[in-house]
Structure 1
Amino acid sequence: MSLILILIGVIAFIVFTTTKLKLHPFLALIMSAFIAAFAYGLPSVTIAKTIAGGFGGILGYIGLVIVLGTIIGVILEKSGAAITMADSVINMLGNRFPILTMTIIGYIVSVPVFCDSGFVILNSLKESLAKRMETSSVAMSVALATGLYATHTFVPPTPGPIAAAGNLGLESNLGLVIGVGVFVAAVAALAGTLWASRFKDVEPDGEAHDDETAHISWTELKAAYGVLPTARQAFAPIFVPIFLICLGSIAKFPSAPIGTGNVYDVLVFLGQPLTALLIGLFLAMGLLKSENKIEEFSERISQGILAAAPILLITGAGGAFGAVLKATPLGEYLGTTLSALGVGIFMPFIVAAALKSAQGSSTVALVTTSALVAPMLTQLGLDSEMGRVLTVMAIGAGAMTVSHANDSFFWVVSQFSRMSVGLAYRAQTMATLVQGITAITLVYILSLILL
């Protein structure tokens, strides 16, 4: 029982320091690793080595993947590729299903672009479509937000799911995580669409956001980017790496569908996330617009590194925290206890949802929970390859439950959509609750079929 009390105390420390004291999650997690190490009685001479090893271990492979994915996202955002993606979806679906169209746009754009940035970029499109199709901008806002949120929490190369996969030992099989994540995210996005439809007759009740992008039209925004990339140029840097990663995973299936010869070696090499994203980065170079492309490319790399730095620190600190927990008897004890209670796949969901609701960051919830449950997978019956993948999905479902006032995304959505806090809670926060419950229900059903 004392093992559980220590764990509860450490988690409470993380929540308190990040919410009340506004301490950066990186420092909160590192301090928690030291506190847990001393509380569980690890030998003092090994504590620093264990923490450093956990920090470096997770970043040794996943770190480069996160950096490359973030740089690609910055290039896509700055070049107007996200605008092209949105236009491509509209041209394909037409004007018949405005709410669904908005969800699909968000679902696609949030794979390479952070959901906060994606919402700001697409805000004028959402407003113009709402006027043109005579649909409530509140419903369109929720549809866009939930579409963005779905892939943000489930589909690599978004940093949160990548970090969770790395903590659970799936860094070499991201293709399977992507495949399952795309499906789970699609169902979660559809749930968000259905919830958004409830507000199709509700008008905004808050004050307009004073940011200049809130008042610019979609046509003016497109013009501000100059010549936009073609659909092929816009989609290639993200979908080619995903395709290669999935091919590499298929090649490594036990049944050896592609054989074991030269083709196998090439596909496995190209399908490694680091290689695939490096190819995506070279494809993204075609989106650069200035005359001095080398200088612009260097600037985008610098911006990407700056954006990735906090995520890398949090991911590494989560790995350090997880390494300490793995060195204690907590995993075996807690896993056995939870197995007896029949909690199974719901345990990662509950922990992630508690952390997300308490401190607001989906990425922190994904990283911390994956580090926490990694030592318990065997006892929870989730130690197979698919079990680990479904654990990532369960954590992702928890990491979206729920977005409210302590989440920056909540304020981006509410302010740019002219929603009061009360309406935002009813529309956006409840939408993320519906998404999370729908996703974990689907993950549970998948666990019954696949495990």
Structure 2
Amino acid sequence: MSLVLILLGVIIFIVIATSKLKLHPFLTLLLAAFIGAFAFGLPAKDIAKTISNGFGGILGYIGLVIVLGTIIGTILEKSGAAITMADTVIKLIGKRFPTLTMSIIGYIVSIPVFCDSGFVILNSLKQSMANRMKVSSVAMSVALATGLYATHTFVPPTPGPIAAAGNLGLESSLGLVIAIGLLVSAVAAFAGMLWANRFMQDEPNGEGADELVHQAEEFDKLKASYGKLPSATASFAPIFVPILLICLGSIANFPSKPVGVDGFYSLLNFLGQPLNALVIGLGLSMLLLKPENRIKEFTNRISEGLIAAAPILLITGAGGAFGAVIKATPIGQYLGATLSALGIGIFMPFLVAAALKSAQGSSTVALVTTSAMVAPMLGDIGLGSEMGHVLTVMAIGAGAMTVSHANDSFFWVVTQFSRMSVSQAYRAQTMATAIQGIVSVVFVWILSLILL
């Protein structure tokens, strides 16, 4: 029991340090690793080595993948490819189902682009569509935000889910994580869209709501500022080619060896490794840049991507350090046996992630911390198989979106750009993320009954 109290104390420290004291999550997780190591009674001579190995181990598996994914997302954002992707979806689906269209746009764009950036980029497009189709901008905002949020928490190469997959030893099974993640995130996005439809008659009531007409007019200016936009094929290729290659690599490695074990298998196995696939994606993203100044701009975008990736890498590494401390103690076996007796199974990682997310606001921190914490106990609660680990990533992702409120930067991006009042945003956006998380974890539980 004392082990559980120590773990709870460390979790409370993480929550208070990040939410109340505003300490950076990297420092918080690193301190939590040291505090936990001393409190659990690890030998003093082994503490530094355990923490260092945990930090380096997770980054050795997944660090370069996070960097490359972030750089690709930066190039898609800055080159105007995200606008092209949105326009393509509108042309394919049309304007008959406006909230569905916005949800699908968000769902696709947030695979490589952070949900905060995606909302800012697409906000004027959303407002323009709302005005043209005479649809509530509140409904359109929630549909866009929940579409973005769905893939942000479930689908690699977004850093949160990819770090969680690394913590659970799934770095060689990312194709399976992506495939299941796309399915679960589609359910989450659909749930968010249905909630958004409840606000079809509502208009924003926050400060500056009367400026939304002018905001809609800015879309054409924004689009023009990019000059000639990349083609749809060029825009989608840096995302979908790596995802396809990773999935094909996973299929090639099925126990039945569907493509044999010779030359074609070797090719798919090489191209399907996440690092190799994302290097190809990075090369394709370079084609989005204007040819007259391509190398210089490519270098600049890489620098911007590295800056954006740095804090994510540090948080991920610190989460790995914290996880290494947990693994070095008997807490995993104890909690595994206790929780197994309770029979909550896949709901356990969801509840831990939801508590962390709701308390401190960061989905990435919730994903990294929870995955590091639960990794040692999965075998004891019936989730020790590869598919069990994949579904655990999904359950943690569901918790990491439950709920987005005032301590989450994404909540304020949606609120301010949509000109919603805080109370209106709580009813529309915060409730939407609660529904998304609950619906997603129920769907994951159903999948666990079928697949495990």
Q: Same fold (TM over 0.5)?
A: yes
Give 1:320-339 correspondences, 5 Å limit.
Answer: 320-339=321-340
Partners of 1:208 and 1:417 within 8 A in 2: no
Residues 43-96 of structure 1: per-residue CA shift (max 9 Å, x gap): 000000000000000000200000000000000000000000000000001110
1:242 maps to which residue?
243
1:263 maps to a residue whose letter is F
1:404 maps to which residue?
405
> Structure 1 residue 217: deviation in Å?
2.5
Residues 348-407 of structure 1: per-residue CA shift (max 9 Å, x gap): 000000000000000000000000000001111101000000000000000000000000
1:269 is paired with a residue of what secondary structure?
A: helix
> Structure 1 residue 215: deviation in Å?
6.0
2-structure distance, mates of 1:217, 1:42: 58
1-structure distance, mates of 2:191, 2:435: 7
Give 1:193-208 correspondences, 5 Å limit.
Answer: 193-208=193-208
Residues 165-221 of structure 1: per-residue CA shift (max 9 Å, x gap): 000000011000000000000000000000000000001000128999946522221
Partners of 2:99 and 2:193 within 8 A in 1: yes
Give 1:56-205 correspondences, 5 Å limit.
Answer: 56-205=56-205
Partners of 1:245 and 1:273 within 8 A in 2: yes
2-structure distance, mates of 1:105, 1:128: 14
Partners of 1:67 and 1:304 within 8 A in 2: yes
1:106 maps to a residue whose letter is G
> Structure 1 residue 433: deviation in Å?
0.3
2:266 maps to which residue?
265
1-structure distance, mates of 2:214, 2:430: 24
1-structure distance, mates of 2:212, 2:419: 12
1:361 maps to which residue?
362
User: Is the counterpart of residue 343 in structure 1 residue 340 in structure 2?
Assistant: no
Residues 111-153 of structure 1: per-residue CA shift (max 9 Å, x gap): 0110000000000010010011110000000000000000000
Residues 237-295 of structure 1: per-residue CA shift (max 9 Å, x gap): 01000000000000000011111011001100000000000000000010112623211
Partners of 1:176 and 1:246 within 8 A in 2: yes
Q: Mean alpha-carbon deviation: is it higher for 212-221 or for 392-401? A: 212-221
User: Is the counterpart of residue 6 in structure 1 residue 6 in structure 2?
Assistant: yes
1:291 is paired with a residue of what secondary structure?
A: helix
1:386 maps to which residue?
387
1-structure distance, mates of 2:28, 2:132: 47
2:228 is paired with a residue of what secondary structure?
A: coil
Give 1:22-41 correspondences, 5 Å limit.
Answer: 22-41=22-41
1:224 maps to a residue whose letter is S
1:198 is paired with a residue of what secondary structure?
A: helix
1:194 maps to a residue whose letter is L
- Unaligned runs of 5+ residues in structure 2 are none
1:260 is paired with a residue of what secondary structure?
A: coil
1-structure distance, mates of 2:32, 2:424: 37
1:403 is paired with a residue of what secondary structure?
A: coil
- Residues 46 and 445 of structure 1, relative CA distance in 2, 3 Å threshold: same
Partners of 2:127 and 2:216 within 8 A in 1: no
2:311 maps to which residue?
310
Partners of 1:405 and 1:411 within 8 A in 2: yes
**TM-score normalised by L of structure 2:** 0.98
1-structure distance, mates of 2:191, 2:173: 28
Partners of 1:79 and 1:228 within 8 A in 2: yes
Partners of 1:214 and 1:416 within 8 A in 2: no
2-structure distance, mates of 1:315, 1:406: 20
2-structure distance, mates of 1:376, 1:8: 16
2-structure distance, mates of 1:293, 1:211: 36
2-structure distance, mates of 1:355, 1:107: 24
2-structure distance, mates of 1:362, 1:81: 25
2-structure distance, mates of 1:298, 1:320: 32
Q: Mean alpha-carbon deviation: is it higher for 220-229 or for 177-186? A: 220-229
Percent identical: 76
User: Is the counterpart of residue 283 in structure 1 residue 259 in structure 2?
Assistant: no
2:218 maps to which residue?
217
1:435 is paired with a residue of what secondary structure?
A: helix
Partners of 1:290 and 1:296 within 8 A in 2: no
1-structure distance, mates of 2:167, 2:370: 9
1:425 maps to a residue whose letter is Y
2-structure distance, mates of 1:115, 1:31: 28
2:421 maps to which residue?
420
2-structure distance, mates of 1:42, 1:307: 35
2-structure distance, mates of 1:212, 1:188: 30
- Unaligned runs of 5+ residues in structure 1 are none
> Structure 1 residue 322: deviation in Å?
0.2
Partners of 2:128 and 2:217 within 8 A in 1: no
2-structure distance, mates of 1:167, 1:61: 9
2-structure distance, mates of 1:214, 1:368: 38
1:191 maps to a residue whose letter is A
User: Is the counterpart of residue 256 in structure 1 residue 237 in structure 2?
Assistant: no
Partners of 1:99 and 1:196 within 8 A in 2: yes
2-structure distance, mates of 1:212, 1:368: 42
